[in-house]
Structure 1
Amino acid sequence: MSDGSTTINAVETSFQIIDVLADHGPLRVTELAEETGVPKGTVHKHLATLRGVGYVVKEEKVYRLSLQYLRVGKRIQKRSKLFRLAKPIVDELAKTTRATTNLMIVEEERGVYLYRNDGMSVESDPLPAVGGRVPLHATAGGKAILSQSLELTEKLIEDHGLQQFTEKTIIDKQELRNELRSIRDQGVAFERGEHDPAVQCVGAPIVVDDEPVGAVSISGNIDRMIGKKLEEDLTGLVVSTVSEIEIALLRQ
């Protein structure tokens, strides 16, 4: 919500409603009021406004988000140079590994999935959707990025702290710093059930002119992402993929 600066409550309420519809919709006005804690009359006014600009659709007595959000999201995605250059390379990695492959960037000290290719994965891994924010300190891609920036690491710790998501999440500041140094030396980061207990992941940072611009990771169910496959096979493929992306970025 607010970071302490001047905000407009009505705008925050609209986005609160949008978030609930994204996670739980379609919903009735009463259900939205219960989920948001906003009075029914206020919810109805916001829905009427959002319908008027084409971002909410009413069907019978329920409301859902319109496909306008797809248009907006695709436009933002396509404006990213990293997305345009990395997408075909990430797609090739997904094809080779037959596993879920992710491209992550940072926004407001949070990891954001800019792109994902599910490869030939037959199971749906419990990963946030493209555009969803995830904690940097509890994900392979996030730790890979943090390993390349002491400034970002300290800002994350100061502004957000180290939230615990599972019993394996690193919540000790010095322990995190030690792991990030190891990741920087090795060039790869592992996520072993730290954000979701069912997911393991390996990632590597994309670095241009000594600055991390993103990360590539391969993720999967903890039962599949184990042993030599995780520690050696996928690790080498992630590192070579990142090198290819870095070369493409430097040529632009």
Structure 2
Amino acid sequence: MNNNGNGSDSSSKNRISAVERAFKIINVLRNEGPHTATDLSDHLDIPKSTAYIYLRTLQDLGYVINEDGTYRLSLRFLEVGGNIRREMDIYNVARGEIDELSHKTGEIGTIGYEENGQRVLLYISEPHDAVADNATTGEFTEMHWTAVGKALLSQRSDDEIRAIVEESGLPKGTEQTITEIEELLQEIDTIRSQGYSLEDEERTSGVRALSIPIESGEQLKNIAISVAGPKHRFSDDRIQDELLPELRNTANVIELQYKHY
């Protein structure tokens, strides 16, 4: 079977190699920034002429911008993601409540979603005096790195969690990240019992986050909300006395509004 990127089917994986290569190029530009055709040729070990053809095709479709021979992704991806998000009822219901939560606590508020075994941030609300943790809207990360991800995992069975880990592994984000499946399952069991998850420098040093899942039937098993901020502002006392009650109240309002949306 020809596997030279000309659009033929890859029989062993039942995938179209040209599509796969196009997205490899997109991912290089996403992760590493602008590249020339020569850069991509070296990076992906393909002929420069092939890299140029792919880049020119993506440019003609509006998804890549050519700036004096250096190519970057266009804002067309922002439009695509924005349209997808706008069609999600939970986003339309919850974003105002997350803004209010962020305003009340003075911390970053987020809506998180599980997709393909990873945590993706649907929405981030940052008050002007909040300390950013460098997360961005649309960011995908490993589930076990974050409070949102662990809250989402708590909605899954242990067998489902094992399947996710088998597919994605348990890579380390920081020295605090859980990297053993049994330890993760033990923490998830605790989260199920207490109803919330805590992230303690497991994704980013110096950052803590608190999250709870949104529970309103099968449709919302992939949604969780959180507050995040610098560790020194997330003391155990403040979590229990202020942040957790505010988070629970916000979740209750979202669940109620969603039922009547």
Equivalent position of 1:194 in the other structure? 202
Q: Residue 207 of structure 1 contacts residue 213 of structure 1 at CA under 8 Å; is this kept in 2?
A: no
Equivalent position of 2:239 in the other structure? 230
Equivalent position of 1:155 in the other structure? 163
Partner AA of 1:131 in structure 2: G
- The DSSP-based 3-state class of the residue aligned with 2:65 is strand
Q: Residue 126 of structure 1 contacts residue 199 of structure 1 at CA under 8 Å; is this kept in 2?
A: no
Q: 1:14 aligns with which of 7, 12, 22?
A: 22
- TM-score w.r.t. length of structure 1: 0.90
Q: Deviations over 1:191-215 (max 9, x none)?
A: 0111222321110001112662310
Query: C-alpha separation between the residues in 2 aligned to 1:166 and 1:238?
Result: 26
Judged with a 3 Å threshold, the aligned counterparts in structure 2 of structure 1 residues 182 and 24 are, in CA distance, closer, same or farther, namely same
Q: Residue 29 of structure 1 contacts residue 62 of structure 1 at CA under 8 Å; is this kept in 2?
A: yes
Q: Residue 28 of structure 1 contacts residue 63 of structure 1 at CA under 8 Å; is this kept in 2?
A: yes
Query: C-alpha separation between the residues in 2 aligned to 1:172 and 1:240?
Result: 33
Q: Residue 57 of structure 1 contacts residue 65 of structure 1 at CA under 8 Å; is this kept in 2?
A: yes
1:58 matched to 2:66? The reply is yes
1:133 matched to 2:120? The reply is no
Identity of aligned residues (%): 32
Q: After the TM superposition, which residues 79-98 of structure 1 pair with which residues of structure 2 at under 5 Å, given as runs?
A: 79-98=87-106
Q: 2:257 aligns with which of 244, 248, 251?
A: 248
Q: Deviations over 1:61-116 (max 9, x none)?
A: 21122221121111101010111111111111111122211101111111111111
Equivalent position of 2:7 in the other structure? none
Structure 1 residue 149 displacement after superposition: 1.7
Equivalent position of 1:142 in the other structure? 149
- The DSSP-based 3-state class of the residue aligned with 2:137 is coil
Structure 1 residue 231 displacement after superposition: 4.3
Structure 1 residue 31 displacement after superposition: 2.6
Q: 1:216 aligns with which of 218, 225, 246?
A: 225
Give the unaligned 5+ runs of structure 1: none
Q: 1:177 aligns with which of 181, 185, 193?
A: 185
Q: Deviations over 1:107-138 (max 9, x none)?
A: 111111111112224543232x2222111122
Q: Residue 27 of structure 1 contacts residue 64 of structure 1 at CA under 8 Å; is this kept in 2?
A: yes
Query: C-alpha separation between the residues in 2 aligned to 1:103 and 1:39?
Result: 42
Q: Residue 20 of structure 1 contacts residue 36 of structure 1 at CA under 8 Å; is this kept in 2?
A: no
Q: Residue 137 of structure 1 contacts residue 170 of structure 1 at CA under 8 Å; is this kept in 2?
A: yes
Q: Residue 188 of structure 1 contacts residue 239 of structure 1 at CA under 8 Å; is this kept in 2?
A: no
- TM-score w.r.t. length of structure 2: 0.87
Structure 1 residue 155 displacement after superposition: 2.2
Equivalent position of 1:25 in the other structure? 33
Judged with a 3 Å threshold, the aligned counterparts in structure 2 of structure 1 residues 47 and 156 are, in CA distance, closer, same or farther, namely same
Q: Residue 110 of structure 1 contacts residue 133 of structure 1 at CA under 8 Å; is this kept in 2?
A: yes
Q: Bigger shift: 77-86 or 194-203?
A: 194-203
1:205 matched to 2:232? The reply is no
Q: Give the greater-gyration-radius structure (CA).
A: 2
Equivalent position of 1:78 in the other structure? 86
Q: Bigger shift: 194-203 or 36-45?
A: 36-45
How many equivalent pairs are there? 249
Structure 1 residue 236 displacement after superposition: 1.7
